[in-house]
Every structure is written in C-alpha cells, then in structure tokens.
Amino acid sequence: MSGIFNLLLLQNTLRTATPVVLCALGCLMTERAGFMNIGVEGMMLMGAFFAVLGSYLYGSWVMGLVFAIVLGVLLGLFYYVFSITFKSDEFVIGVALNILAGGLTVFLLRTLFGVKGSFSDPGIVPLPTLHFTWLEQIPVLGTLVSGNTLLVYISWLLVFLCWLLLYKTPLGFHLRASGEAPEALRASGVNPDRMKMLASVLCGILASLSGAHLSLGYLTMFSENMSASRGFVAVACVIFGGGNPPRVFLAALLFGFIDALGIRLQRYIPSDITSMAPYVVTVVMMVVVVLMKRRKKKIRQGEER
C-alpha cells in the first residue's frame, strides 16, 4: 500500500490538479459574472499550443507564457463579443470554440511543424522548477511544496487573489453584481457589460495559462487533444464549489488526486479503467453535491416548522 499512497502521489496530485485549478478559476470569474464558458476546453488546448510555439520560437519560457497570455486576452474578448454583444447562445459559442481549437491546433501542428500527433523538440524551453531550499528542511510539507514548476505556485497565489478580489474589493463586488443583478449595477453607474468583458478576459488568460502548464509544465511537448476534457472538469469544479475560490480549489485537488491515483494504480488495474475513473468520480460527485444540498434544505425546513 505504501507503494501507492506516498508522497509522490501527493506531488502528482498537485501537478495534475494545477491545470484544472487555473481553468476553474477562469470559469469561476465568468460564472460570477453571469455566464458560463464551456469553451475553456478549447482555450486550454490553444493555450498549450501557443505556449509551446512561443517557447520554441524564442527559446524562452517567458515568451511561451506571453504568447499564452496574449492568446487568452484575445480569446476572452472574442468570447465576450459573441456571447454578450451579439447575444449568441453561450453553449453554441463554447462548443464551436472547442471545435475551432481542435482544428486550428492540429492544422498548425501539421503546417508549422510538419508533424502529426505531437510535437516535441529540445528547442522548447519548459517552465522553471522552483526549489525552496529553506522549506525542504521540513519533512513532509517541504518536499511537497518545493520543487514544483512555476505555474503550480502561481495557481495557489491566484486562488488567494481571486478570493481577495471577489470578497474584499469593490471591483470584485462589481463583478459579482454584474452576474447577480446587472441592472442594479447599471443604475449605480457601473456598466455591467464592462465587468463581463473583464471576467471573460480573465477567464481567457487563466484557461490559456492552464494549457501552458500542460505543455510546458512537466511535459515539454504539445500533443493533439492534450486537454483531454480537463476544461469540462474545471466547469464541474466550479459547479461543486459554488463559485467560491477555496472550495473550487479543493474540488480541483480532488480531481487531481483521483487522476494521479489512477496513474499509480495502472500497475494493478487496466489503464483504460484508471483513465475512466476521474470522469466517473466527477459525475458521482456532482450527484452527491446535489443530494447533500437537498438534505440540507429539508433539514432546515424541518427545523423551521
């Protein structure tokens, strides 16, 4: 058992959860602003590709991140213009974005790099791994916290910053109001559409960065469809977490845990089953959350009678 449940498992959990965390934070922003973005899957995929592109072309992971961030801004604006300004169905735009991402990345893979399936090259510079030597003294926590790549730490910071933004700053209030009561916000002189645009751009950036973590984080490559439905899992996490950053973070960690566990168990259980597990667990979790909410409501009603 100790072969499976050890520190390495927890480390893998953190690393596998990170793209979901980043993406979920982005989804959280748009969800709070009143619109759900299922196109994050496509945004993640495109972010992964463009991060590799930037890193490869300029031989620098910084450029990789820059490419991803710029892409994220553009995607966020694009999604905003179509969903809000042109009032399209968010679902349709999201799905179309995913299709576009799939098509575009494969097209560029073949046209720019001339390969099929995946692109891996020593010219791609991965994200740096950060070691905190002073932390490594601490027995368990030390090895966990130190030695992860950049975006993992940024993702933790962002969870905190998102929480701070939404609950402690006027800008965050405006963002929440733009989703919950846009007319109230408008009558107060703040344009809710501008808030939604901000949320969309933040979502684009975060989803794109989550892709960058996938392709430049530990693996240093881009492969077709490497997002593997993680964007949708992120959406599910936002639903579990009720739009609350710390809770969403925990949900994403849970997913990471199941995923990492699955990889560990591949020695004993067929790989297809272990790959399937996180998705099934996520669905079960969604059902459990709904059931728990119902029970809570019934108890509260029973008490009031």
Partner 1 sequence: MADSSPIVRFDHVSVRYPGALANDDVSLAIRRGEAFALVGENGAGKTTLMNVLYGLTRPTLGTVTIKGEAISARHDPMRAMAMGVGMVHQHFKLVPSFTVAQNIALGSEPVKNLVFYDHKKINSEVLALGKRFGLPVNPDDIVDDLSVGLQQRVEILKALHRGADILVLDEPTAVLSPGESDELFEVLRGIVLKQGMTVILITHKLHEVMQFSDRVGVMKQGRLEGIVNTAETDEHKLAAMMVGREVLFDELRTGRPTDREVLQLKDLRAQDDRGLPAVKGIDLTVHAGEIVGVCGVEGNGQTELTECIMGMRPQTGGEVYLSGQNISRLSPRQIRARGVSYIPADRMRTGLSAEATVMENLLVGKQRQKEFSRFGIQFRKRRANAYARELSEVFDIRAGGIDIPMKSLSGGNMQKAVIAREFSFDTPVLIINQPTRGVDIGAIEFIHEKILQKRAAGCAILLVSADLDELFRLSDRLVTLFEGQLTGQFQNGAIGKQEISYYMTGGRQEVQA
Partner 2 sequence: MRKWRLPAALRTLIAIKPKQKLTAQYLLSLLIAVTLAFLVGAGIMLLCGYDPLICYAALFKGALGKPRAIGNTLAKTATLCLTGLAMSVAAKSGIFNVGGEGQLYFGGIAAAVVGARMAGAPDWIIIGCALLAALLAGGAYAWVPGILKVKLKVDEVVTTILLNSAAIYFCAYLANGPLKTTERGISSGTDSVAASFSPLIKLSNLNGSVFVAIIATLLIWYLMTRSTTGFEMKITGTNRRFADYGGIRADRLMMVGMVLSGMLCGLVGMIEVFGIHKRFITNLSNEYYFDGMLVAMIMRYQPMGVILMSFFFAVLNIGGSAMELSAGISSEVILIVQSVIIFFMAAQGGIRQSLHAYTVKRRVRRAHAREVRT
Q: Which is nearer to partner 1, 2 or 305 (CB)?
A: 305
Adjacent-strand bridge partners of 119:
222
Binding track over 144-183 against partner 1, x by CB under 8 A: ------------------------xxx--xx-xx--xx-x
Q: Which is nearer to partner 2, 166 or 235 (CB)?
A: 235
Instruction: Return the one option of partner 1, partner 2, none that residue 301 interacts with (CB less than 5 to 8 A, by type).
Output: partner 1
Q: Out of 291, 292, 298, 299, which residue is the one contacting partner 2 (CB under 8 A)? A: 291
Candidates 139-147, 180-188, 202-210, 265-273; binding stretch for partner 2 (CB under 8 A)? 265-273
Decide: is 16 part of the binding site for partner 2 (CB under 8 A): no
Q: Quick one: how far is CA 68 from the chain centroid?
A: 13
Decide: is 186 part of the binding site for partner 1 (CB under 8 A): yes
Report the DSSP pairing between strands 118-120 and 148-149.
unpaired
Q: Out of 113, 132, 173, 279, which residue is the one contacting partner 2 (CB under 8 A)? A: 279
Decide: is 111 part of the binding site for partner 2 (CB under 8 A): yes
Is the CA virtual torsion 82, 97, 252, 15 positive or negative? negative
Pick left, alpha or beta for residue 117 (phi over 0 → left; psi -120 to 50 → alpha; otherwise beta).
left
Per-residue exposure over 128-147, b if at least 16 CB sit within 10 Å of its own CB, e if not: eeeeeeeeeeeeeeeebbbe
Decide: is 139 part of the binding site for partner 1 (CB under 8 A): no
Quick one: 69 exposed, middle or buried, by C-beta within 10 A (0-12, 13-18, 19+)? buried
Say if CB 44 and CB 22 are below 8 A apart.
no
Please report where in the chains the tokens 């991402």 appear, as a residue: 101
Instruction: Return the one option of partner 1, partner 2, none that residue 104 interacts with (CB less than 5 to 8 A, by type).
Output: partner 2
- Residue length of the chain: 305
Candidates 46-54, 176-184, 200-208, 283-291; binding stretch for partner 2 (CB under 8 A)? 283-291
SS3 assignment, position 119: strand
* Site of interaction with partner 2 (CB under 8 A): 38, 82, 85-89, 91-93, 95-97, 99-100, 102-104, 106-107, 110-111, 228-229, 232-233, 235-236, 239, 270, 272-273, 275-276, 279-280, 282-283, 286-287, 290-291, 294
